[in-house]
Amino acid sequence: MARALVTGNHAAAHALALAGEANHVARGTICGAYPITPQTEIIEFLRAFNFSKGRVVPVESEHSAMAVCIGAALAGARTFTASSSNGLAYMTENVFSAGYFRLPIVMVGVNRTLGPPWNIWVDQGDTLMMRDAAWLQFYCDSHQDLVDTVLLAFRVSEDPRVLLPALVAQDGFLLSHTQMAVDLPTLEQVAAFLPPCHVPHRINGQGKTIGGMTWPHDTEHHRHEIQLAMERVPAVLAEAVDEFVRVFGRRPAGVITTEQTEDAETILVACNTMARTAQRVVQERRARGERVGMVRAKLFRPFAREVYTTACGHAQRIGVLDRNHSPGSGGIFWQEIALSLRCRPEVLVQDYLVGLGGGDVTPEMIHEIVDDLQGRTTASPPVWKELPVA
């Protein structure tokens, strides 16, 4: 383990590269690579990395970057890529293919607002758009969390009980282009944590057609299998976290992390860097004697409803901070949390749209949200935090 000052992009790329290099004992590693701001540094880092049994293929589009990963995974290699925003949108068709093919591909998504209007700053709408693609989705709040989560993602994805791709998201620029000190694992540690990649349905010379046509009933069966695999993820993730502790001597976040939720009356739910800001606000409110807590959502797909419901404990008011917007509905995390808490109809679940398109989310804004939440008797349609009040 080496302590190093790295950007979020380099932290993620480092973990991807070590995971790939660790698979030289098996069928090697392949990355389909196409740049897009703010993900570009990841691809640059990987192209410069000297894999002993691996190749980073510079393709002509994100669509093909994922296609290369699909072909390589079907040939049995460990595979990964990275993307952002409109690149991810362009990749979408093959993102779904990878999920429905049950291939353990890992992708780092550097969150950036989908255009138009063109905007390079953070917004989780790009990766959340992929929520139905049969991918696991992890949202990271720090550089260390990125390193750890990329490794966890490979471990859970490649687990024979899961066999689904995983997306590891970080905030564009806020994490991707800032530096923090992290513990970078050694190759030996990564190899001890990640067994050689084995894709059981890889092509092996047999005359079988993978991904061909099915009749309606078989298709339903296929989707049901994916649902069952998703439902196994929280348990498999918990095992992986324990194993991570054994190998790296550090406990990474699993499904969620909480801040003083046990006795909280009011709880904020947030992901990525916003969760760090919310955590600070919660600590300040606690210092004033207010029973406020926070849940940081890390695993978004599958959405482990019971974990969230339990974490929200006895709170009467839940405020969900969404840096994303589903037009005609509201924030996407809010939809999930509200659905999780439908068993407790007396709880007020309010959606706050904050920092859309990369706007700063300051502690003051979150204090205002807590004030608003505490004064509420009913929930309203999503509150647009930065729009002037009419």
Partner 1 sequence: MTTLAPLDQDACGHILRPGNTNCAGCGMSIGLQWLQQALGEVRPTMCIPACCGIVAAGAFPTSAYGVPTLATTFASAAAVATGVSAVRRLNDEDALTMVWAGDGGTYDIGLATISAAAERNEDVLYFCYDNEIYGNTGGQRSSATPQGVKTSTTPQGKTEQKKDIMEILVAHRIPYAATLSVAHREDFLRKVRTAHRLRGFRFLLMLSPCPTGWKSEPAESVELIRIATQCGVYALYEVFDGRRYRINARPDGTPLERYMSTQRRYRTDLLDLDLLTALVNEKWAYLEALERAFPARVEDGER
CB-nearer residue toward partner 1: 205 or 381: 205
- Which residue stretch of 54-62, 169-177, 335-343, 378-386 sits at the interface with partner 1 (rule: CB under 8 A)? 54-62
- Which residue stretch of 59-67, 117-125, 331-339, 353-361 sits at the interface with partner 1 (rule: CB under 8 A)? 59-67
Asked if 285 and 268 count as a contact pair (C-beta separation under 8 A), the reply is no
DSSP state of 342: G
CB-nearer residue toward partner 1: 31 or 321: 31
Is there binding between residue 288 and partner 1 (CB under 8 A)?
A: no
Is there binding between residue 76 and partner 1 (CB under 8 A)?
A: yes
Q: Candidates 8, 28, 125, 319: give the one binding partner 1 (CB under 8 A).
A: 28
Q: Alpha-carbon distance 170 to 142, whole Å?
A: 8
Asked if 3 and 27 count as a contact pair (C-beta separation under 8 A), the reply is no
Burial letters 47-80, b for 16+ CB under 10 A, else e = eebebeebbbbebeebbbbbbbbbbbbbebbbbb
Is there binding between residue 35 and partner 1 (CB under 8 A)?
A: no
SS3 171: strand
Q: Residue length, the chain? A: 390
Here's the x/- map for partner 1, 238-277, by CB under 8 A: it reads as ----------------------------------------
Largest Cα separation within the chain, whole Å, is 69
Q: Candidates 117, 205, 375, 388: give the one binding partner 1 (CB under 8 A).
A: 205
Asked if 123 and 357 count as a contact pair (C-beta separation under 8 A), the reply is yes
Is there binding between residue 63 and partner 1 (CB under 8 A)?
A: yes
Rg value, the chain, Cα? 21
Interface of this chain with partner 1, residues 89 to 108, rule: CB under 8 A: 93-94, 97
Asked if 383 and 351 count as a contact pair (C-beta separation under 8 A), the reply is yes
Is there binding between residue 208 and partner 1 (CB under 8 A)?
A: yes
Asked if 306 and 255 count as a contact pair (C-beta separation under 8 A), the reply is no
Is there binding between residue 69 and partner 1 (CB under 8 A)?
A: yes
**Bridge partners of residue 321, in order along the sequence:** 352
CB-nearer residue toward partner 1: 67 or 349: 67
CB-nearer residue toward partner 1: 65 or 153: 65
Selection from 196, 199, 197 nearest residue 210 by Cα = 199
Task: Kindly list the residues in this chain that would bind partner 1 in the complex (CB under 8 A).
Answer: 27-28, 30, 32, 53-55, 57-61, 63-65, 67-77, 79, 93-94, 97, 203-215, 218
